[in-house]
């Protein structure tokens, strides 16, 4: 009886979790239109639609997909997906950018999950299955222990050797400046032109407006923004835009 009750409890918890998020659940393993699918199908489709930007503004990874997302961000597939995105940057840079080499060719990068990985933090916080706790995330950032994303680091160095000005635009706040610089330098990033963080005034704006304002300023300073690499759509949206934008995978959280 006890066993039955606890099984029932588990099933009903899963059922509730899934019912809130979407159609799939442990008792009814089908899509809305009746297609029989596995949990893996369901979660892969959730992840894909986050990347396609059909799913926006999610606060947590659906409970039933936390394990799937945890596996993905620690997998070879995640590395391959990131490497491919960077490879496309390289291709574009090699074929479509008529660099003037006058000190005004620029490339923009996000920091978190673009140059540095927050996966070690999210590993301890249920892989995005918990609501963001900014205090605890900033505590972790201030320790400066985030590892580099290796493919991004290589591309960063290639841009530098081509004389492109590298500008880092992050939604991290100003008080994290020295920890951020130390962390970046520790893992091998150096020689960027500027590091733009969010000041108290910028915090009144959405991240996407803050980043658009930064691009506006850079363009009025005479920079040609050839490309942006980021893991969030808020790094690309609103005018003025860059010539090209390159999205790295990130199913852990959404910044608007």
Ligand X SMILES: *[C@@H]1O[C@H](CO)[C@@H](O)[C@H](O)[C@H]1NC(C)=O
Which region among 13-21, 37-45, 131-139, 245-253 touches ligand X (by CB under 6 A)?
A: 131-139
Residue among 7, 133, 194, 243 that touches ligand X (CB under 6 A): 133
Rounded distance between C-alpha atoms, residue 176 and residue 223, angstroms: 26
Residue among 33, 135, 161, 220 that touches ligand X (CB under 6 A): 135
The nearer residue to ligand X, 38 or 136, going by C-beta atoms, is: 136
Site for ligand X in 103-122 (CB under 6 A): none
Smallest distance from ligand X to CB 6, Å: 27
The nearer residue to ligand X, 6 or 136, going by C-beta atoms, is: 136
Smallest distance from ligand X to CB 213, Å: 29
The nearer residue to ligand X, 137 or 162, going by C-beta atoms, is: 137
Rounded distance between C-alpha atoms, residue 101 and residue 164, angstroms: 7
Residue among 6, 136, 241, 256 that touches ligand X (CB under 6 A): 136
The nearer residue to ligand X, 54 or 135, going by C-beta atoms, is: 135
* Residue 6 is a binding residue for ligand X (CB under 6 A): no
Which region among 49-57, 75-83, 133-141, 197-205 touches ligand X (by CB under 6 A)?
A: 133-141
Rounded distance between C-alpha atoms, residue 219 and residue 121, angstroms: 35
Residue 82: partners with Cβ closer than 8 Å, 6 or more residues away: 149, 151, 152, 248, 249
The nearer residue to ligand X, 139 or 205, going by C-beta atoms, is: 139
Exposure string of 159-193, with b = 16+ CB inside 10 Å and e = fewer, is bbeeebbbbbbbbbbeebeebbbebbeebebeebe
Phi, psi of 235 (to 5 degrees): -85, -10
* Residue 143 is a binding residue for ligand X (CB under 6 A): no
The nearer residue to ligand X, 14 or 179, going by C-beta atoms, is: 179
Rounded distance between C-alpha atoms, residue 222 and residue 205, angstroms: 24
* Torsion sign (Cα): 220, 225, 164, 249: positive
- Residues forming contacts to ligand X in the complex (CB under 6 A) are 133, 135-136, 139
């Amino acid at each position: 009886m006890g066993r039955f009750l606890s099984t029932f409890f588990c099933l009903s918890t899963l059922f509730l979790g899934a019912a809130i998020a979407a159609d799939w659940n442990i008792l009814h393993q089908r899509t809305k239109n009746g297609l029989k699918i596995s949990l893996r199908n369901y979660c892969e489709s959730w992840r894909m639609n986050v990347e396609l930007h059909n799913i926006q503004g999610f606060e947590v990874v659906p409970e039933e997909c936390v394990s799937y997302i945890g596996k993905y961000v620690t997998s070879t597939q995640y590395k391959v997906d990131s490497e491919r995105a960077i490879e496309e940057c390289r291709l574009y840079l090699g074929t479509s950018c008529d660099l003037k080499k006058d000190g005004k060719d620029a490339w923009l990068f996000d920091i978190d999950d673009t140059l540095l990985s927050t996966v070690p933090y999210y590993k301890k916080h249920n892989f995005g299955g918990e609501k963001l706790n900014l205090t605890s995330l900033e505590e972790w950032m201030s320790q400066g222990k985030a590892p580099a994303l290796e493919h991004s680091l290589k591309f960063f160095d290639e841009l530098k050797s081509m004389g492109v000005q590298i500008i880092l635009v992050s939604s991290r706040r100003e008080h994290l400046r020295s920890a951020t610089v130390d962390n970046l330098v520790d893992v091998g990033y150096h020689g960027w032109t500027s590091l733009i963080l969010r000041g108290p005034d910028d915090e009144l704006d959405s991240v996407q407006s803050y980043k658009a304002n930064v691009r506006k300023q850079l363009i009025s300073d005479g920079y040609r923004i050839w490309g942006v690499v980021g893991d969030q759509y808020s790094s690309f949206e609103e005018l003025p835009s860059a010539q090209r934008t390159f999205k790295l995978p990130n199913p852990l959280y959404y910044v608007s």
